[in-house]
Amino acid sequence: MNRSTIIKQLGLAVALVALAACAPPPREDTALDNLRADLEQFRANTTLSSLVPLALADAERAVREASVEGLNDIELAHYILIAEKRLEIARASAFRAQAQSEINQLEAERTELLLRASRLEVEQARREAEQARMESTAVREEIERTRRDAMTAEELREEASRREAAAREEAEAARRLAEAQANEIELARREAELATEAADSLRRRLELMELRQTDRGVVVTLGDVLFEVGQTNLQPEARTNLEDVVELLQSEPDKRIRIEGHTDSSGPADVNQRISLERAEAVRDELAAMGIDAGRIQAVGMGEDFPIASNDTADGRSRNRRVDVILLDD
């Protein structure tokens, strides 16, 4: 092989190496990487993830499906969307389980406070009885000593005066003790009431919201606590109850929203249809007032035609009286 041929081959090799160095890096799917990072962050929060092992497993399985090699862009986007929704459901389920745990703790604290108040009342009664017994014994002993010593009338009067003063002092001390104990009991009762109020507040929020993923999108079911039975005007505390819904809707600003009103089967069907529509419209108007773009929202009345429980029981009818807020996946 002559020198000219060797030089040509070396030049070709150098050119190939340069082309390889200039080639674009392999494509990195940012959405999939972000999804994996979100899953890892949720998994690392063992306080929450340990509460929902099944939902976490569903989310992990969905991420694995999205990570399969050879998916085209449409398939990859589809699997990423499914994985994101399952991760959202896992988070929501974990927060719900955590809130239920807090309710249980508050109720246990309330029970303990009530027991403590009861023990204080019993102890106060015991001390008062013991004090009365001791005072009675002391009086009898003093009378007996007076009789034995044959005290004069003046001495008896002086002794009686002293006993009266001592009795007044003891009565005042007993009064102050009783007042302090009453204050302690009242404080314990107030603490129990506050614990009950906190538990009731959490319970109402859990009863209000039920979140699930459907073919149409994420559905938030609002229980019948927003309206009085048979009424279409929102109750005064509705704005507070809707704050979590507003936060969810604001997290997806590009999606349309469908609000469906439902009733139980009590009363005429045409009346139920009207009530369901007016309730859906009331929720729509309140969400708009709280900052949700009214152009995104469609309010419809479904009447009594789509129950989720039996209308033969009070509990079933209560579940059927609801408003569904749907974050559409179209």
- Choose among 40, 24, 39, 31: nearest CA to 76: 31
| pLDDT band at residue 150 using 50, 70 and 90 as cut-offs | low
Please tell me the predicted confidence (pLDDT) of residue 9: 45
Q: In angstroms, how far is the first alpha carbon of the chain from the final one?
A: 68
**179-214: pLDDT as tens digits:** 888 888 888 787 777 656 654 554 555 455 678 888
- Choose among 49, 98, 307, 92: nearest CA to 219: 92
d(CA 285, CA 114): 43
Please tell me the predicted confidence (pLDDT) of residue 7: 43
Please tell me the predicted confidence (pLDDT) of residue 171: 86
| pLDDT band at residue 278 using 50, 70 and 90 as cut-offs | very high
- 135 has pLDDT over 70: yes
- 100 has pLDDT over 60: yes
| pLDDT band at residue 168 using 50, 70 and 90 as cut-offs | confident
d(CA 192, CA 184): 12
Check residues 3 and 150 and name the one with the higher pLDDT. 150
Please tell me the predicted confidence (pLDDT) of residue 194: 67
Place of tokens 């246990």: 108
H or E element, residue 180: helix 153-208
Answer for the pair 327, 255: CB distance below 8 angstroms, yes or no. Answer: yes
Tokens of 308: 């989720």
Interacting residues of 322 by C-beta distance below 8 A, sequence separation 6+: 221, 222, 223, 224, 262, 308
d(CA 189, CA 118): 10
Q: What is the chain's mean pLDDT, rounded?
A: 82
Cα–Cα–Cα angle for 293, 296, 286, rounded to 5 degrees: 55
d(CA 77, CA 29): 10
Answer for the pair 59, 87: CB distance below 8 angstroms, yes or no. Answer: yes
- Neighbouring CB atoms inside 10 A of 206's CB total 14
Q: How far, CA to CA in Å, does 181 sit from each of 75, 194, 246?
A: 71, 20, 47
d(CA 212, CA 219): 5
3 state DSSP class of 251: coil
Phi, psi of 15 (to 5 degrees): -65, -40
Please tell me the predicted confidence (pLDDT) of residue 6: 38
Average the pLDDT over 34-50 and give the result.
Answer: 89
Cα–Cα–Cα angle for 255, 258, 262, rounded to 5 degrees: 155
At 266, which amino acid appears?
S
Answer for the pair 68, 82: CB distance below 8 angstroms, yes or no. Answer: no
Please tell me the predicted confidence (pLDDT) of residue 13: 39
Lowest-confidence region among 89-93, 224-228, 263-267: 224-228
- 275 has pLDDT over 70: yes
d(CA 203, CA 106): 11
Query: Residue 137: exposed, middle, or buried by beta-carbon count in 10 A (0-12, 13-18, 19+)?
Result: exposed
Please tell me the predicted confidence (pLDDT) of residue 26: 37
Question: What is the number of helices (H) and of strands (E) in the chain?
Answer: 9, 5
Q: How far, CA to CA in Å, does 194 sit from each of 108, 113, 190, 191?
A: 13, 11, 6, 5
Percentage of the chain exceeding pLDDT 70? 85
Please tell me the predicted confidence (pLDDT) of residue 141: 85
Please tell me the predicted confidence (pLDDT) of residue 153: 66
Please tell me the predicted confidence (pLDDT) of residue 196: 66
Q: How far, CA to CA in Å, does 21 sit from each of 11, 113, 167, 188?
A: 16, 73, 104, 76
